[in-house]
Amino acid sequence: MLLRLPFHLLHSHDHRRPLLPNTIAPKRFNSHIFSHPQSLPRTVPILRASLSPPSSFSEDEPDVELGRLLALLPEEMRRRVSEHPELRLLIEVVMDLGRKPLARFPSGDFVISEYPITVQDIEHATAQVGDFAVDNRAGISRTLHRISAIRNRKSAIIGLTCRVGRAISGSATLLQDLVQDGASLLLIGPPGVGKTTIIREIARMLANDYKKRVMIVDTSNEIGGDGDIPHAGIGSARRMQVPNSDIQHKSVTLGDEEASRRGVQKTVLERKGPSTFSCAVEIISKTQLRIHRSLEATVDAILSGRFPNVEVRKMKSQEQEEILQKGPVFDSTLENASEIMLDDALERADVQTRQKESPLMLPINMVEDSSEHKLPLRLFCYGILEATVIQAIKQLKMNVAALQLTDNISEANALLSLQSKLKKNSRIQAAFKSHDIPIYVTKTSSLEHVTKAIRALLSDYEDGLIVFGSIDKIKDSEKADALEEARMAIEHVVIPKGEPVDLLPRSYQVVSLQLDLVRSYQLEARRISGESDVYHLRILPSHYETDEKKTSESSEFDGEFDDFASSNGSTNGSVNNLDRLPLLPE
């Protein structure tokens, strides 16, 4: 099995790339590579694993392993943490120079000492761990603990995060069938959600339960533990250490240089070929996952602004209750698979954080329905009261969710207008015509006529005469290009340099997609009309106040109808002949 990040999803830890409105990229993605020693490029099938633990699993008693981590602390701090009632659930200890040390538990942070961390405290800790590799991580021999360093500008260590590592049998239970399918899996999740733990467990299952020859390429010794003898948590899998993780990642990472080159040239990143991974797993919490069975379809969907189809998997609540009743289990001494530590509060916090932070993480309710999700028909009304339309919808006894009113042309699938009003407004006609949006007119705005109009419109829709906007007709690659161009401009110029950027000219619909992306970064943009129905977007940095912005605010189209009607000079005069519009039967 090969676990790697695909080109289009892999970013350095601090890159943020929201692709959907109201979401921010996860803080980081991690990758680990497993490969079969005899046939490196091929993926190795992962078979269904039984849940029974291997006979010999634990390197040492869990308390002994935890003790090795606590030994990094000065004595008084060690005593305070050891007395904590949730000691066995300890997640990590944070020691930052000049600050009070913290112990992180699922229930929250615990201040270990009122005295700030000194240089001596940090030296005491670092003296007991192995060498820090280029990724700034070190371990403690024959344990799964991981120590990450923060350095100052002169490279001296000024902060440590001491993460407790545990081998947990059953942590990969929810992925059994995927493991069995043998597909390449991409695991995505925010820090500390349990990716490493799952990968370790998959390796153990493969090696011990299925007698596969498994080689773990262990980037920072997180999976097999530090030292030359791997931790028992990987079972009989073998482990290959990586001397320089920089080189390993350069096969898979889009470097900053390359990224800025692309940004400057306004070329784009798109899915050029098949993904390395057939399937992706978003780890929402220790008890909940989202499966993207076709990673390619997910990426295509997100790039084109649609919601991907996902499968949500949760541990059964009964199982959770049993676990909670039994109490959390600290380490690999688990007797059966259901004994996985659960903490409700932690889990809820995980879900909430992720909904805010990740481009792939969609609101739960949206995700769960996404496979049956049917888009509503969006109607732009002109010269007809909204109340009349709503009444008509009621009269037709149709599902209100199936038809929505919009005052944004870029979203509309159809225009319903009073004939006399439309005749007088050539700009609206031209705007709808240029966007290839069908126009329906009624002679009066009475309920009867409006109802008939909507009935006719719906029947055309069902017959396929109205499509979901012409945006659907645009090639996915064009949408992907445009979105990537906007993202690059935002992340490489607008945000870091505080400068406005003009994007390449695009069709109105594509510019609308770019505008949505810009707004998801809480930035503003102006849609500027060019020749023959071509527009381009100018992305403005936050707090960008110039005469140009003020002028553009008053004169350029920002997607709202009124602005458009008053400013779209390019379509002025190209009046559609109203007589050729479909006039609804009275």
Are residues 471 and 512 in contact, defined by beta-carbon separation less than 8 angstroms?
yes
Closest separation in Å from C-beta 38 to ligand ATP:
28
Closest separation in Å from C-beta 188 to ligand ATP:
10
Closest separation in Å from C-beta 171 to ligand ATP:
4
Query: Is 46 or 329 the residue whose CB approaches ligand ATP more closely?
Result: 329
Residues that bind ligand ATP in the complex, under the rule CB under 6 A: 30, 91, 163-166, 168, 171, 189, 191-197, 286, 340-341
Q: How far is CA 81 from each of CA 63, 89, 118, 124, 160, rounded to the nearest angstrom?
A: 13, 11, 18, 17, 16
Query: Is 92 or 481 the residue whose CB approaches ligand ATP more closely?
Result: 92
Query: Is 281 or 341 the residue whose CB approaches ligand ATP more closely?
Result: 341
Query: Is 205 or 428 the residue whose CB approaches ligand ATP more closely?
Result: 205
Closest separation in Å from C-beta 78 to ligand ATP:
18
**3 state SS of 137:** strand
Closest separation in Å from C-beta 4 to ligand ATP:
15
Distance CA 217, CA 215 (A): 6
| Three-state helix/strand/coil letters over 175-214 | HHHHHHHCCCEEEECCCCCCHHHHHHHHHHHHHHHCCCCC
Distance CA 222, CA 242 (A): 11
Closest separation in Å from C-beta 398 to ligand ATP:
47
Query: Is 135 or 478 the residue whose CB approaches ligand ATP more closely?
Result: 135
Per the DSSP assignment, residues forming a β-bridge with 239 are 216
**3 state SS of 575:** coil
Structure tokens at 3: 């676990």
Closest separation in Å from C-beta 104 to ligand ATP:
9
Query: Is 194 or 438 the residue whose CB approaches ligand ATP more closely?
Result: 194
Are residues 379 and 403 in contact, defined by beta-carbon separation less than 8 angstroms?
yes
CB neighbourhood size of 40 (10 A): 9
Closest separation in Å from C-beta 148 to ligand ATP:
8
CB neighbourhood size of 4 (10 A): 22
Query: Is 169 or 434 the residue whose CB approaches ligand ATP more closely?
Result: 169
Distance CA 552, CA 547 (A): 8
**3 state SS of 324:** helix
Query: Is 30 or 445 the residue whose CB approaches ligand ATP more closely?
Result: 30
| Three-state helix/strand/coil letters over 439-474 | EEEECCCCHHHHHHHHHHHHHHHHCCCCCCCHHHHC
Distance CA 92, CA 71 (A): 13
Closest separation in Å from C-beta 134 to ligand ATP:
16
Query: Is 189 or 500 the residue whose CB approaches ligand ATP more closely?
Result: 189
Nearest to 206 by CA among 31, 5, 32, 35: 35
Structure tokens at 190: 């925010």
Nearest to 30 by CA among 243, 253, 184, 302: 253
Closest separation in Å from C-beta 22 to ligand ATP:
24
Query: Is 286 or 427 the residue whose CB approaches ligand ATP more closely?
Result: 286
